[in-house]
Structure 1
Amino acid sequence: MDLSEVVQFILILFPVFFFSLLLIPNIIIFLLDLDRARFNIRTEREVLISIVGSGRTTRSIDLVLDLQFRELAIAEPSYDDHDLAVALQLKLDEGAGTESDGDSQENSNADRTLVSGPAKDKPAAPPANCTCLRCTDEIARQKSFKAPCNHDFCFDCLADFFEATIDDEALYPPRCCGQEIPFESVQGLLNDRLQIRYREKKMEYDTEPNNRTYCHNTTCGSFIYADLIEDEAGLCLDCGRTTCTMCKRATHYGDCPSDEGTQRLLELAENRGWQRCYNAKCHRVVELSSGCNHITCVCGAQFCYICGSRWRTCTCPQYTHPSVAGDVRGQPAAVHRFYRPT
């Protein structure tokens, strides 16, 4: 073998040896990423070919690369099997951990149940909106009123509801599903004028019909409140006139003819010879069983038992009683006159 053949042989072996050294990191890389290993091999082939530039050397490099690719093809299934085994192991470990956590959580819940009893469901939060029962509009809950029967009303319909009650006593008190809506629970939701009108009407409706007094003035007819009635005469705040609470007509002086009970009492008192106090704020009926004719009433008024006049304003005898035929002191008998205001 001459020198030229030796040099040529060395030139052929040198790239192969050099390329083999480069394959060592590729073997490590392919275990991590096969696609990356193939890419690196192809890149190194191009570099070697550009360096050597010989067709024969190129064929040798192609032969080595072909062998390397075959090794990669053989190793690839093993690599896939390895990945599958690792994935299965991870799933098994994860399943075991989840089961362990589940058992721990179940045991913890069981212990908590033994200590605090069965868990109670939390009440669901109320919806932000609701539907008005009257107008069926959807409204915000903070702009609605919930009746005792749990029906919702918007503020406008609630005001209309109370307006209708003022105009129609048959609707009083305001009710929904047969349950009364207390005025105290809604008065802050009504305007001032409606509140005043409803309070006035409430005092009227709360008074028994037989005990109500309305102004006798046909152009007025307003309800007269109890605190404006004195001595059976009620004062109307709207027109200023007074009305008799007994006969419901204009106020008159004296006993009301429509007061049947009073009329029967006065008739009995006159037949029995009793007398009546002249004081307009009293008018009590008294009976004298013995003594003088000077009567002092419990109201403080002093009057004559014979005629009912104020004491010392009449000529009736002081000691004469109509039940006695004559005065024991020689005074003539007096005629009894029952007092009736005129």
Structure 2
Amino acid sequence: MLFIMLSGKWPAKQRKIAMLVNQVNLLQRKFEYCSPRLVARHDLKFALKLARDAIVSQSNRPAESSSVNSLNETCVICLEDTDRSQIFSVDECQHRYCFSCMKQHVEVKLLHGMVPKCPHEGCKNELLIDSCRKFLTSKLIETMQQRKLEASIPLTEKIYCPYPRCSALMSKTEVLDYSHSLMGSEQSVPKKCVKCHGLFCFSCKVPWHSGMTCYTYKRLNPNPPAEDVKLKFLASRSLWRQCVKCNHLIELAEGCYHMTCRCSYEFCYKCGAEWKDKKATCSCPLWQEENIWLEDHQDDEDEDDSDYDDDFY
């Protein structure tokens, strides 16, 4: 479908797709000759490798005699000549990209709950926070710190503060050591959040139930809190899917059913079946048209209204 649009046989109506097609057309004009070809999915990596090798060979060409050109460097992602002061070099591998492309790359990875790594294909080097301060906003830096913290704590060690105004992520070992230094190591004593210092039950994962055992508390409170009930109802009504590995809730705003959770677990949004080696283990369709053309339908509705007056997780 996308190839048909790029070849000009079918106009792109969705805003994001139209922007992509326009960007590809602009890039095509930079070449002396360009002939688009539809590549099979299993040949995609080979095609990308050829493309990257060609780009690198062009960007590493001998420097021009002009002093102006010598101050510029071609970003191998956007193919734009950029002032070298605006080029970012990854600390470990020294792969180089412009600030604009790096910012977009990091934003997408953080949005998907992942720790950003070098954009170069096959490179596993993680980006350092201090180095990324050159092109990231303070809010993105804070999000990146949170993602690195989440990734540093194993799933079996993660624990969250039960107080809604805090909800700090901690490791069980961290909580036990912090509480032991303050109140002792007895199982019956409350544990303390390292951030808000609120007392909570390590076994029940709820605010501290003073004067009663865990068994008594669970017997007197058999039903989940009202907030949890509301969340479960909202998730069911909105058709949200919960990751079976980390229990994170995911909402499909638009796109295909292949989900990649922030914990890196891949599954089918429609039925929850796991994806293995980038392949589905279920027979569900890859997408539904209303999810792919969501913006088109909305644009059509807006146009109809104008006749009278005017995801991803």
**If the length of structure 2 is used for normalisation, what is the TM-score?**
0.33
Greater helix share, structure number = 1
Which of the pair has the greater relative contact order for Cα pairs under 8 Å at 6+ separation?
2
**If the length of structure 1 is used for normalisation, what is the TM-score?**
0.31
